[in-house]
Structure formats: structure tokens, C-alpha cells
Structure 1
Amino acid sequence: MIARKVKVVLGVIGADCHAVGNKIIMSVLEPLGIDVVNLGVMVSQEEFVDAAIETGAEAILVSSIYGHGEIDCMGFRDHCVERGLSDILLYVGGNLVIGKREFSKIESHFKGMGFDRVFRPSVDLAEVANLLKADLSQKRSIQKPDVEPSEFRKAG
């Protein structure tokens, strides 16, 4: 069986124009077998969702460095659900809030907003790739029935 290549949409949300980290993320993920559709900087929620639909991406990776991720990401999961992407994986990372807060509180807040994973600015990107592959593998195995539909008909 040939492993399906992972396709993700990546971008920097909101009015954030920090491009370097975004390019680094892409340069690390692609050699690890992840097909990255990089939307660049200053990306709206609508643009993320449109790109995920157009490309058939299984995950959206949202980056925010300027501290306004908390505001920019509000309602992101709802937006995905409204557009038919209820099962898409949502990852977010970077400097997500202004001021100093315990990361556990930031993580809890963003998970409460519907993000599947939340990352610190200093995350190991190889770890992100491994988590992404594992999360998608688990999601695919849950969605795939153990028995093919034609076998249901034969058994019935």
C-alpha cells in the first residue's frame, strides 16, 4: 500500500506580515513528505478555508507572530464547519497572544476555540510534522470502515 501524501495549507493570519518563519516551516515540512500550499502573509480566515477546499488539504496550519492570533483566530473552527470542513485538522503556533501568559493557558484557550494542536514559537518542526502525520493517520483510520461496502452487501 502506498502512503498518501499529506497536503496542508500554511499561512500567517491577519495583518501579520512576518514571512521568515513561514518560509522556514515550509522548508522543513516539505522534505518530510508534507505537500505545503503556502499562502504567505496577511491571510484571512476566508483565504485559508478557500485554499483548503480548492486543494483538498487535510490540515490548515496557522501562524501568528505579532501577538494578535487570539483575535485573528476567533471563530476559525466555526468558519471551517460552515464551509464543509468540519473534520479538517487545525494547527496554530507562534506568538499567539500579547503579554506573558503560561503556555498551558494559551494552549487551553486555543483548543477551546477548536484548534487541534497549539505550538509555542520555539517548537521543533520535525515534531510538528510527526504529530501531523500521526493525527491524520488516526483520523483516516477512524473515517475508513474496517469492511469495504461491497463486503457489507455480500455478508447481508
Structure 2
Amino acid sequence: MEKKKLVLGVIGSDCHAVGNKILDYALSEAGFDVVNIGVLSPQEDFINAAKETSADVIIVSSLYGHGELDCQGMREKCDEAGLEGILLYVGGNIVVGKQNWENVHARFTSMGFDRIYPPGTSVDTTIADLKKDLKLK
């Protein structure tokens, strides 16, 4: 498989590191070149890492429920930084409380995210979507 570069991190004031490390390991084992920017990461860190490494995808994780606030305007900032068309994935516990998933998905889609994953999504799902979206075998 052709190595594609992914920027992975936990956005905002979220310090949940274990899931981030599991994703890093699983994505690396699946053949991706993972640039892990860690936890407590602002949008700018994701964007700067993607620019510096010519990444194909930005994967945003959020577990503390404030992902919706932390992700607002990210697509526009990517475009302004010259990253038009970069794939944006987001997943985890991305909103506060029990909300209708279809509504949550629609809000993140309108924010420009290409893939939006609910809590409990298997990393295998993300890997399959990456291979499909990046046209890998």
C-alpha cells in the first residue's frame, strides 16, 4: 500500500491520551504514516502539521464533549492555509449529552468534515474509510 500521511490529535482542552495512542498504533499498523500531534491541540496545530508534512488527512479526536465548539471554522482555516480538499475526519464523544446522531452528523457535515464518527466506532471502520477515500487497495 502506498503510504499516505495522516495528522492525528486530540483537539481543544481535551487531555484524553489513551485513545489517541490506540488510534496512532492501529493506523500505523494499517500502513499509514501517522503524525501524532498529541492532546490539548488547537486547530492551528493540526493545520500547521498538515502543511509541514503534506498530509492527506487530518483526523480530529475529541472525548470531552466540546468537539463541536473546538472544530468550528476548521475547514475554512484549512482552505485559507492552502489545504483545500484535505480530508477532515472527526470522531469520539464530540458533543455534550445524548443528542440525535443524525443532527450531530449533519452539523459536522455542514462544518466541512468528510467523515464523522460516533462514540464507540471501531478503528477498523476508519481504516476502511481511509482506504476508500484515498483510493487505496
TM over 0.5: yes
Secondary structure at the aligned position of 2:60 is classed as strand
1:149: which partner in 2? none
Amino acid at match of 2:38: G
In structure 2, which of residues 47, 50, 59 is the aligned counterpart of residue 49 of structure 1?
Answer: 47
Q: Partners of 1:86 and 1:101 in 2: how far apart?
A: 30
**C-alpha displacement of 1:128:** 0.5
Identity %: 53
Residue segments in structure 1 that go unaligned for 5+ positions in a row: 139-156
Structure with the higher fraction of residues in strand conformation: 2
2:106: which partner in 1? 108
Secondary structure at the aligned position of 1:127 is classed as helix
In structure 2, which of residues 17, 29, 46 is the aligned counterpart of residue 19 of structure 1?
Answer: 17
Which range moved further: 101-110 or 57-66?
101-110
Query: After superposition, what is the alpha-carbon deviation per residue over 1:37-95, rounded to whole angstroms, capped at 9, x for unaligned?
Result: 00000011111000001111100000000000010000000000000001100000000
1:126: which partner in 2? 124
Residue segments in structure 2 that go unaligned for 5+ positions in a row: none
Structure number, greater radius of gyration: 1
Secondary structure at the aligned position of 1:41 is classed as strand
Query: After superposition, what is the alpha-carbon deviation per residue over 1:108-146, rounded to whole angstroms, capped at 9, x for unaligned?
Result: 1101100000001211101201111110128xxxxxxxx
Amino acid at match of 1:63: S
Aligned pairs (5 A) from 1:79-118: 79-118=77-116
Check conservation: 1:90, 1:116, Cα contact below 8 A. Answer: yes
2:75: which partner in 1? 77
**TM superposition score normalised by structure 1:** 0.85
Check conservation: 1:6, 1:133, Cα contact below 8 A. Answer: no
Q: Which of the pair has the greater relative contact order for Cα pairs under 8 Å at 6+ separation?
A: 2
Q: Partners of 2:34 and 2:124 in 1: how far apart?
A: 14
**C-alpha displacement of 1:4:** 2.2
Cα RMSD after superposing both structures: 1.0
Q: Which runs of 4+ in 1 moved over 3 A?
A: none
